[in-house]
Chain A
Amino acid sequence: MRKKRRFKRGEIPTASMADIAFLLLIFFLVTTTIDTDKGLGIVLPAEGEEILIKKENILNCLINSQGNVLLGGVPFRIKDISKEVRRRIAENDKLIISVKAHEKTKYNDYIAVIDQLKMANAKRISIAESD
């Protein structure tokens, strides 16, 4: 006597698929952190890539340990830097802003200055070593 087959066709039960997918979905929902890092981007020059720049194309920006800024030899308040730099760039589009900070300068002041330069759409920012 032949045994009767229970299933006609081999089928994978799909009723619980949605549940399994939901479970995985919830796992990844919980583990995902959407908030991305934000910050001021800058590209450092490669090692040994020193180029000589004409003096008239350099704007020195010095920050002392108290957070006072000297822009091209003239003291400026931090919030006024962007306006001045924008004006200077309009005069000379090859202008490179060389930021030099004292060793004891607070990082906060330095970021404030870089932020001001970014606000003035300064593309050429150079970070000089403090000496």
Chain B
Amino acid sequence: MIVKRKTKLSNEIPTASMPDIIFMLLIFFMVTTVLRTYDGLPVELPKAKRIEKLKSKRHTAHIFVDKKGLISIQDKLHSIETVRHVMYEIRAADPMLTVSLKADRAAQMGLISDIHNELRKADALKLNYSTKTAVN
């Protein structure tokens, strides 16, 4: 005697909800994407162990300092005297700003110290020394 199956098993993946899933992913990526990023200068970042992640890319301004002592903010070269004005503008536009200092490991502290002072005058106080993760 052949037992009849009660319910029919369909061997198809249900696709009705697929657009919803895709939309959800789409919205996630739309929200997380920041389209414009600045290239900056070629720097070799120092390494550190106790690092923390920057919270938001949107509220981050990068200052590049290469080993020759060139300073670049938003793809423009600046001298130490103009850093204050540029950073003040950026800071005024975004009160949640964190400054990410991407300085070369061979940069000299005299210049970094000057940048500290300029940032203080521009009221951009949250600073992050960009580093790579040290192994071990």
Contact = CB atoms under 8 A, between A and B. Distances in A.
Majority secondary structure, A binding face: mixed
A35 B133 CA distance: 13
A32 B34 CA distance: 7
Contact of A107 (B15, B54, B108): B108
Interface stretch (A1-9, A22-30, A87-95): A22-30
B30 interface: yes
B107 interface: yes
A24 B26 contact: yes
B103 to A, nearest CB: 5
Contacts of B46: 107-108, 111-112
B129 interface: yes
A105 to B, nearest CB: 4
Contacts of B65: 107
A30 to B, nearest CB: 9
B77 interface: no
Question: How big is the B interface, by class?
Answer: 35 or more
B68 interface: no
Nearest to A44: B125
Majority secondary structure, B binding face: mixed
B24 to A, nearest CB: 10
Given A21-B23, A32-B29, A114-B129, A37 B54 contact: yes
A42 B127 contact: yes
Question: How big is the A interface, by class?
Answer: 35 or more
A17 interface: yes
B127 A44 contact: yes
Interface string B116-127: 110111010111
B93 to A, nearest CB: 19
B72 interface: no
A51 to B, nearest CB: 15
A28 B30 contact: yes
Contact of B125 (A39, A45, A101, A104): A45
Given A21-B26, A44-B120, A39 B108 contact: no
A44 B120 CA distance: 7
Contacts of A110: 109, 112
A42 to B, nearest CB: 5
A31 B105 contact: no
